[in-house]
Structure 1
Amino acid sequence: MRKLLFFIIIFIYSQAQLQAQGYRLTVKFSQYTGGKMFLAHYMGKGTFLADSAMIDASGTAVLEGKEPLPGGIYLVVFPGKQRYFEMLLDKQQVFTVSVDTTDLVGKTVYKTSPENDLFLEYNRFLATLAPESRQIQEALAARTAADTARARPIQTALNRRIQDYRHDFMQKHPSSLLTSIFRAMKEPEVPPKPADADSAFAYRYFKSHYWDEVNLADGRLVRTPVLEGKLQKYFTQLVPMEPDSIIAECDTLLAQARQDREMFKYVLWWLTYHYETSQYMGMDAVFVHLVEKYYVPGDAYWLNNEQLNKIISRAYAIAPNLIGQQAPPLDMQDSTARPLSLYGTKAKYTVLVFWDPTCGHCKTEIPRLDSAYKASWKDMGVVMVGVKTDGTREEWLDFIHRHQLDGWIHAWDPQSQSNYRRLYDVYSTPVVYLLDEKKKILAKRLGVQQLNGFLERLAQGTASALPTR
C-alpha cells in the first residue's frame, strides 16, 4: 500500500512538473497515417500558428514545448488545412485527444482534459439544436413575411435554450475558461423603461452596462473571437463618432485592461490600429492621443525601439494637421516666382490641394475639383489653392493651361523651404484640406463628392457629421 501511494505521489509530482515546464498535447487521428498537422490560436478574430507536428504511421502527432501556451481557444488543423476543430487550452496542458474525422463532435475523446470535456459537451448540445436551426434558415431564406413570422418564435425559443444552458454552466463551473467566454458573450438585458425616462433610456442603459460581464483581467479572452467582436460593436455602434468622446472611452477601457498585460496589449493594439486606419475623417486625433498617452511614455512594452519609433513618428506627422487645429503657415511662390502666403489668402473657405501634374490620380481628380469649384463652390466663397508637389515646372504649367485652372491660386516651393510634406502629411497625391476663414482645418483627405456634401452641410449649418474619406 505504501509503495502504491509512493508511486501515485511520484506520478502526480511528475505531471505537475511537466505542466509547470510546458505543454504536451498528443493528438490521435483515426483516418491519417502521415502528413503535417497544425495548432493555431485565435488573436481576436484572426488565427495564428502556434505549433505543428508530423503524424506518424499510427496516426499520432505530439505537440510539445518547454513553455506553457497562453490560455484561449485553439484550432487543431488537419493536413491539407481544409478541416479543423476547436479546443480549449488553460492550466492543464498535458492531455490526449482522439479524433475521428467522420464525426468530430460525436466521436472526439479527451483524456485528462476536464475543460475540453465540458467544451465538447457544449458543442454536442449545440448539435442537438441543428433541426431548429435549419428550420429558421429555411424560413428566412424564403424571405416572405409569413415565413419570417414563423421563424421568430422558433428563434426566440432556441436562443432561450442556449442562454439557459450557458447560465446553468456558469453556475456550476465559475472558474472555467468557458464560463469567462460565456460571460463575455452576454449582452445587457435592458429593463422596462421607467415612467420618467426619456427615449434614450434603453441606449444609455445598454451602453453603461455593456462591459459588466467581460472580465478585462482575464487575458485568455484575447485568444478568442469574442473580445474583438465586443470592441468592434462598442466603438462602432455605441460610442458617439466624435473624437473627444472616443478618447474618453478608450482611456476608461484601457485603465480597466491594465489588470492583465495581455489584455492591455491587445486592447491598446486594437484601438490604435482601428483609429489609425479609420475611414472616418477626424479619427486620426484618437490615434495621436493613444500614441502620446501610451506609446511615448513606454507602455507598449512589446515593441522594440524601431517599431516604437515608427508609430511615434507617424503620430507626430499627423499631429500638426488634426481637424480643428490651425493650418500650418505656408510661404511659397506663385507660378511667376512672386511670394505667396497661405495666410495672406483671404476667403470664407480655402480648398488647399497638394497635387502632382504627373500623378495618374491627380489627372482625374484635379479637373473634377475644378468643375465642382466653378459649378457651386465659388459662389459659396471658396478659394482654390493648388500646391505642386512633383513634376517639372513646364509639366505643371502645361496641365494648368490645358485644363483651364485659371480660377485657382497656384503655388510651389522650388527651394523646399516650407516643409509642407511634414506639416500637411503629404505622402501621396492628391491631398485635399478644407480651411475656414481663419485657416482652421475643417476637413481633409476627402474626394470631390464628399467635399461637396460637406460644403453643402456647412452652408446649411449641419456639418457636424464625420464623413468617410
Structure 2
Amino acid sequence: MRYTLFFFLLLLSACLQAQYKINLQINAPKDSIAYLRGVVFDDKNYFPKDTIRIKKNVVILQSKKPIVGGMYYVQLDKSKQRFYFILENNDNLSLEIRGGEIHSNNPRNQVYFQYQKLAKSFEVIDSLYDAEVGRGRKFSYSDKAAFFKVKTAALAAFRKKALPKLNPSEVLHIYFSALNRLDASVPDKKNYAARLAFLKGLDFNTNKLLFIPTYKELVSEYMGYYPTQADSLLKGVDQILSRVNCQSKSYPYVLNYFVQLMRNRNVQNNTEGFVKFVNTYVEKSSCNALSATVKKTLIDDAARLNKVVNLAKSPAISLPDTTGVTQDLHQFAASFDYTLLAFYAPTCDHCQKEVPEMDSTMKLIESRLNLSLGRFYVCNEPGVPQATWRKFISDYKITTNAKHVELPSVSDIRTQYDAFSNPVFFLLNRAGEIVARRISPNTLRKYFAEIQRQRMAQNP
C-alpha cells in the first residue's frame, strides 16, 4: 500500500509540473514533527516553508512556483537536529535522514554533506573559542585567524578540490567561493589595498547570494576594515550600498543590517552617525525598499536623537536619591573631571552586565589617567520596588563617587535624553556639557585613550 501511494504521489507531482520536488525520508522515532526552512541573508532570518508530520516513511514536498535557489534545512522538533541542504530550481531531490546523518541522490548535496561532516569534526575548536570568549578573552582579527588556522586550512582544501566540479552559477559554488574569500581575509584598518581587494569582484546583487548565510558575513567582514567610528563606518556603508541595486531582493536586508550597526553603542559617535545614515539612506533616498511604517519609525527615531546631538549642555536633573534627598546633576558634575550619566533598570539583563562593567572601566581610567570620575545613576524603571533598586546597587557595588536617583514614571527627562531604553550612558565634563553620547564601556575606553594620546603628544 505504501508503494502504491508513493507511485500515485509521483504521478500527481508530475501533473502539477512542480518547479522542485523533494522526496524526503525521515527515520527519527522520537520526532513526530520536522520543519523545512529556507535561509535568507543569514542563519537567523529564515522564511517558513513547510511543517512536516512524520507519520509516513516518505513525504513529498513540491512547489509550482519557481525559486531562486539557496540553502535550506530540515529541523527535527524534539531532538533539535538540523540538516542543511542545497535546493536549486527544477531540482528533483531524494533526501534521507537517518540517525545523525543525511544522504541524497544529488551529487551536489553529497559534496555539501561531506563538507558539513568535515566542519563538524572541528567542533572542539569552536567550543574552545567560545569558552575563551566567555572568560573575557579579546580576539583581534589576526588572533582569531590564528586560533582557527587548522580548521580553516582543512575546509579551504576541501572547497578548493570541490569548486572545479561545480557550475559557477550553482548555489554551492557561490557559497564555497564566498567562504574562500572570507577565509583569505583578515581585516586590517590600515590595509586599504586589502580592503579594496576584498570588495573587488563581489556581486552583491546575485540573488542566490541572498539565500545563503555568507551574504551578511561578507558585508560584516568588509566593515571590519574600518575603525569603529561613525564617520569611518559611513564610508564603508557608502561603498556597499553603492554596489547593491535598490530594486534587488537583498537591499532591504543590507539596509537593515546597517541600521543595527549604526545604532550600536560600541561605535563612537553612533548617535550622530545614525542620524546622518537615516537622513541619507532613508529620509532623502528615492529608493522605496522600506515600508512606509518602517521608514517613518526610523525618521522619527533619528529626529529624537538629533535633538540629543544638538544638546551642548546636559538638561537639568534634580531628583531624590535612595534616602529621599534631592540630588542635582550639574552640582554633582562640577565636583569631578568627568561624570558618567547612566540611565538603567535594575531588572534589565543588559544593565546587570553593562552597568558594573562601566563602573569597572571608570575605575581603571581613574587610576591610569589620575582623573576624578563621578557616576550619576538614574533608575529608569517606573514602579520598581525600592528594595529591588537598592539590591541592584548593593549586589553590583556601584557606590564609588556615585549618586543614585529615581526617575518618576512621567518625566520630560526621559524625552530630553531619549532614554526610552536601558542602559543609556552619557559622559559630561565639569561644566555639565555632554562630551560623549550613548556610549558603551568600549567607546568610553576609546574616548579616554584619545585623551591619553593627546597628553603624551603634548608632553613627549
Common fold: TM-score over 0.5: yes
Letter in 2 for 1:53: I
Matched, 1:75 2:73: yes
CA contact (8 A) 1:332 1:413 kept: no
**In 1, are the aligned partners of 2:330 and 2:431 still within 8 Å (CA)?**
no
The residue number in structure 2 matching 1:123 is: 113
SS of the aligned residue for 2:74 comes to strand
Q: Does 1:210 align with 2:201?
A: no
What is the identity, as a one-letter code, of the residue corresponding to 1:123?
Answer: F
Which residue does 1:441 correspond to in 2? Answer: 434
User: Counterpart in 2 of 1:327?
Assistant: 312
Q: Secondary structure at the match of 2:80?
A: coil
1:223 aligns with 2:211: yes
In structure 2, what is the equivalent of residue 146 of structure 1?
Answer: none
Alpha-carbon shift at residue 320 of structure 1 (Å): 2.6
| Deviation at residue 88 of structure 1 after TM alignment | 1.8
- Using the alignment, how far apart are the partners of 2:374 and 2:112 within structure 1? 65
Shift in Å at residue 87 of structure 1?
Answer: 1.9
| 1:422 matches 2:418 | no
Deviations along 1:433-463, whole A, 9 cap, x unmatched?
Answer: 3245787632235589986995586366369
Q: Please point out which of 172, 177, 188 is paired with 2:171.
A: 177
In structure 1, C-alpha distance between the alignment counterparts of 2:196 and 2:90, rounded to whole Å: 36
In the TM superposition, what are the counterparts of 1:27-426 in structure 2 within 5 Å? 27-29=24-26, 35-43=32-40, 44-46=42-44, 48=46, 49-57=48-56, 59-65=57-63, 67-78=65-76, 80=78, 82-92=80-90, 95-101=92-98, 104-105=101-102, 107-110=103-106, 117-124=107-114, 158=154, 161-169=157-165, 173-187=167-181, 203-235=191-223, 237-258=224-245, 261-297=248-284, 301=288, 303-322=290-309, 326-327=311-312, 330=315, 351=339, 353=341, 419-426=412-419
What is the deviation of 1:53?
3.0
Q: CA deviation at 1:410?
A: 12
- Partners of 2:317 and 2:25 lie apart in 1 by 72
- Secondary structure in 1 aligned to 2:250? helix
| 1:45 counterpart SS class | strand
Counterpart Cα distance in 2 of 1:282 and 1:47: 28
| 1:238 aligned counterpart, secondary structure | coil
Q: Is the 8 A contact 2:85 2:109 kept in 1?
A: yes
Structure 1 residues 294 and 66: alpha-carbon distance in aligned structure 2, compared to 1, 3 A threshold: farther
SS in 2 for 1:232: helix
Distance in 2, Cα, partners of 1:180 & 1:187:
11
Cα gap change, 1:262/1:154 in structure 2, threshold over 3 Å: closer, same or farther?
closer
Q: Secondary structure at the match of 2:165?
A: helix
Q: Give the C-alpha shift of residue 40 in structure 1.
A: 0.9
The secondary structure found in structure 2 opposite 1:87 is strand
Letter in 1 for 2:217: G
Match for 1:162: what amino acid? Answer: F
- CA positional deviation for 1:246: 0.2
Structure number, greater radius of gyration: 1
Q: Retained in 2: the 8 A contact 1:354–1:389? A: no
> What TM-score, normalized by structure 1, do the two folds share?
0.62
Q: 1:77 to 1:453 in 2, by over 3 A?
A: closer
Query: In 1, are the aligned partners of 2:266 and 2:439 still within 8 Å (CA)?
Result: no
| Contact 2:69–2:89, Cα closer than 8 Å, also in 1 | yes
Q: How far off is 1:354 after superposition?
A: 6.7
The CA distance in 2 between the partners of 1:97 and 1:410, in whole Å, is: 64
TM-score (norm 2): 0.63
Query: By how many angstroms is 1:56 displaced?
Result: 4.7
Residue type at the aligned position of 1:441? I
Over aligned residues, Cα RMSD in angstroms? 5.6
Partners of 1:265 and 1:300 within 8 A in 2 = no
List gaps (5 residues or longer) in structure 2: 1-12, 130-146, 321-327, 391-398
Summarize the Cα distance change of 1:60–1:156 in structure 2 as closer, same or farther, 3 Å threshold. closer
Deviation at residue 296 of structure 1 after TM alignment: 2.4
Check whether the contact 1:41–1:72 (CA below 8 A) recurs between aligned residues.
yes
| Partner residue, 1:18 | 17
Q: Return the letter of the residue paired with 1:119.
A: N
8 Å CA contact retained: 1:321, 1:441: no
Q: Is residue 432–residue 445 contact of structure 1 (8 Å, CA) maintained in 2? A: yes
Alpha-carbon shift at residue 248 of structure 1 (Å): 1.0
Deviation string 1:272-298 (CA, Å, 9 cap, x unpaired) is 123324434433433333322223246
Equivalent residue letter for 1:83: Q
Q: Using a 3 Å threshold, how does the CA distance of structure 1 residues 282 and 180 change in structure 2: closer, same or farther?
A: same
Aligned-pair CA distance for 1:271:
1.7
What is the rounded CA distance, in whole Å, between the counterparts of 1:443 and 1:203 in structure 2?
Answer: 28
Q: CA 1:46–1:16 in 2, change beyond 3 Å: closer, same or farther?
A: farther
- When residues 332 and 163 of structure 1 are mapped into structure 2, their CA distance, relative to the original with a 3 A threshold, is closer
Rounded Cα–Cα distance in structure 2 between residues aligned with 1:449 and 1:250: 22
Q: What is the CA deviation profile of residues 128-182 of structure 1, one whole-angstrom value per residue up to 9, with x for unaligned ones?
A: x699x67x97xx99xxxxxxxxx99987874563243144235xx1222222222
The aligned length equals 394
For structure 1, which segment, 63-72 or 254-263, has the greater mean C-alpha deviation from structure 2 after superposition? 63-72
Identity fraction in percent: 16
- 8 Å Cα contact 1:350/1:385 also seen in 2: no
Q: CA deviation at 1:342?
A: 6.9
State the alpha-carbon separation in 1 of the partners of residues 149 and 279 from structure 2: 51
Offset at 1:253? 0.1
